[in-house]
Structure 1
Amino acid sequence: MTTYCKAGLALAVLLAVSSNLLAQQDMGKGLDSIKVVAPGATLRQVSSQFTFTEGPAVNKKGDIYFTDQPNDKIWRYDTDGKLSLYMDKTGRSNGLYFDKKGNLISCADEKDELWSISPDKKITVLLANFQGQRMNGPNDLWIDPKGGIYFTDPYYQRDYWERKKPDIDGQKVYYLPKGKQEAVLVDGDLKQPNGIVGTPDGKFLYVADIRDSKTYKYQINADGTLSNRQLFIPQGSDGMTLDSQGNLYISGRGVTIYSPAGVKLGNIPIPSRWVGNVCFGGKDRKLLFITASESVYTLPMQVKGVE
């Protein structure tokens, strides 16, 4: 009986290992079929010590900063592959983005504000409300070439809030012009906007309406307003980024990549329950960094990021 149990256990272990190797091989084959992924590249799990990771942003050096929002922390993954805690007590930061001066701009939804965190970690509140009303919960953002901030403001009930309903009717997209203290409503006709990113020339903006499973493309006008809204793809997203070829990367069930024409190039499967966001980093900007629930992953790419 003992011999049989040991043999059975050994067989189970062998089958599990074989199954895992086959899964990795299948993933590898799948990744090789996506033209923007580096040949032979494999997905690497950097760490799984978090609760829910979000908001990756890259600085000028290529270091990546991201949030673990339930634990109210910002982490850094540097170009040498070192992971370290950057900041504790972050105002429940979610989406992040670096401005041209190296300040880390944050969607801090503990009090539903936009923050600027300087390199020496001095905090400046850029936006505290909209026309005197508390925001729903700034979620994701993108900074245009002029220094203006586009951000989404969906409502996700937080357990650290005392309120149980939003002050503002509807879930919308706003623009905060550089140097201003009052935001401008740029699209109020969405169910639940979430991921957002713009082209580096400042001409177009992508916004995901995650509840409606749609992603829109807008033309950005000279005054920062939006026009010519068009359905780009019938898929929503939690977070988004662009590469140097204009391909759009959207998160959720893995990372799905679309060409500038909206043609699906492929899906990068991620072994976590949900992918919150994605960005490019590294010294050459060719490392795809993926925040996925309890984990963060990296994947070498053939293309560069533009953020």
Structure 2
Amino acid sequence: MADEDFEIFDARFNSRVKTSARLDHLFDDCRWAEGPAYFPAHRQLVWSDIPNNRMLRYDETSGGVSEFRNPSNFSNGHTVDRQGRLVSCEHGARRVSRTEPDGSITVIADRFEGKRLNSPNDVVVRSDGSIWFTDPTYGIDSDYEGHRADSEIGASLVFRVDPQSGEIRKVADDFTQPNGLAFSPDETKLYIADTGATHVPGHPRHIRVFDVGADGVSLGGGAEFCESTNGLFDGFRFDRDGYLWTSAGNGVHCYAPEGRLVGVILTPERVANVCFGGPRRNRLYICATTSLYAMTLPVIGARTF
């Protein structure tokens, strides 16, 4: 990786990356790579290959890749909860599920007010155990990443699942296509991408920021945090200093806490999602169209569970 493979817009980006670092190309047999989730105890990464209806597993110790689940119900976004369990968004089954330690599957959410969800897209778990997820229509728009169907809800919403009661609550309803989401490192703010421009010209291609209420349930605010300068945002994560690392059309964009684009890691393919992993959480894994990439950074990823 050479200096020209980065774009630097603010001197602060120089402390976020090493321009002498290499972008490692780990795997390249996907149709649309998405939803990386890292398991520290096993030093393994699980991610989705949505159109191929499978989940893949990368072993950090050997460099080997194998199938984790096939078929996968056209799974998309994943995260790991505080008990080390995989939480998944499934386009095909139109649900959010959890994989238990014995391999069994628990359905977390598949309906709201008696109506089937659209196609859950991305998911995060807050430290109180609540599960937050987005529900756009990408998995029911066609048979490419799920099963074509009409929306029963009639809108694309953001939901919260209560950790005690399992109640599914709508927390945001003013999105065209809510997509990636992540909490700030202190969990006082929730950031949500809107990729509405995929469906309606001139509609959003931005990330909004919400204040999380003292009750840990309600959201306030919702101002635009940043707008994509290349393609669309999808999945994103924070480092522990509050810098946001997001997918975009030409690579991984890094935003300072106030919303300024400070730099870009350029990639050969359009990026869909990222997550931090490695023994020190300073290995940035990048799902980009057909491939899985990674780069070691001089910063530490924020804990996501």
Partner residue in 1 for 2:172: 187
What's the offset of the Cα at 1:291?
Answer: 0.3
Q: Does 1:54 align with 2:34?
A: yes
Q: Which runs of 5+ in 1 are unaligned?
A: 1-23
Partner residue in 2 for 1:200: 185
Q: Do 2:5 and 2:266's aligned partners in 1 also have CA atoms closer than 8 Å?
A: no
> Aligned to 1:231, which of 209, 217, 224?
224
Deviations 1:178-222 (A, max 9, x none): 133331111101111101001233211100112201211111121
> Aligned to 1:295, which of 278, 291, 295?
291
Q: Which runs of 5+ in 2 are unaligned?
A: 197-203
1:45 partner SS: strand
Mapping 1:135-174, distance limit 5 Å:
135-156=117-138, 157-159=141-143, 163-174=148-159
Using the alignment, how far apart are the partners of 1:208 and 1:162 within structure 2?
Answer: 23
Partner residue in 2 for 1:68: 49
Q: 68-77 vs 143-152, which deviates more?
A: 68-77
What's the offset of the Cα at 1:65?
Answer: 1.2
Q: Do 1:45 and 1:298's aligned partners in 2 also have CA atoms closer than 8 Å?
A: yes
The AA in structure 2 aligned to 1:233 is C
- Please tell me the root mean square deviation across aligned C-alpha atoms, in Å: 1.9
Using the alignment, how far apart are the partners of 2:14 and 2:177 within structure 1?
Answer: 30
The AA in structure 1 aligned to 2:60 is T
Q: Provide the TM-score with structure 2 as the length reference.
A: 0.87
Deviations 1:150-184 (A, max 9, x none): 11111111306555321112211111111333311
What's the offset of the Cα at 1:40?
Answer: 1.2
Q: Do 1:28 and 1:41's aligned partners in 2 also have CA atoms closer than 8 Å?
A: no
Using the alignment, how far apart are the partners of 1:53 and 1:200 within structure 2?
Answer: 26
Partner residue in 1 for 2:199: none
Identity %: 33
Q: 156-165 vs 281-290, which deviates more?
A: 156-165
2:112 partner SS: coil
Using the alignment, how far apart are the partners of 1:268 and 1:41 within structure 2?
Answer: 11
Q: Provide the TM-score with structure 1 as the length reference.
A: 0.86
Deviations 1:255-291 (A, max 9, x none): 110011111111111101x211001111111111000
Using the alignment, how far apart are the partners of 1:90 and 1:68 within structure 2?
Answer: 9
The AA in structure 2 aligned to 1:173 is V
Q: Do 1:74 and 1:90's aligned partners in 2 also have CA atoms closer than 8 Å?
A: yes
Deviations 1:74-122 (A, max 9, x none): 2222331332222222222110001111110000111210100123321
Q: 288-297 vs 223-232, which deviates more?
A: 223-232
Total equivalences in the alignment = 283
The AA in structure 2 aligned to 1:50 is C
Q: Which has the larger radius of gyration?
A: 1
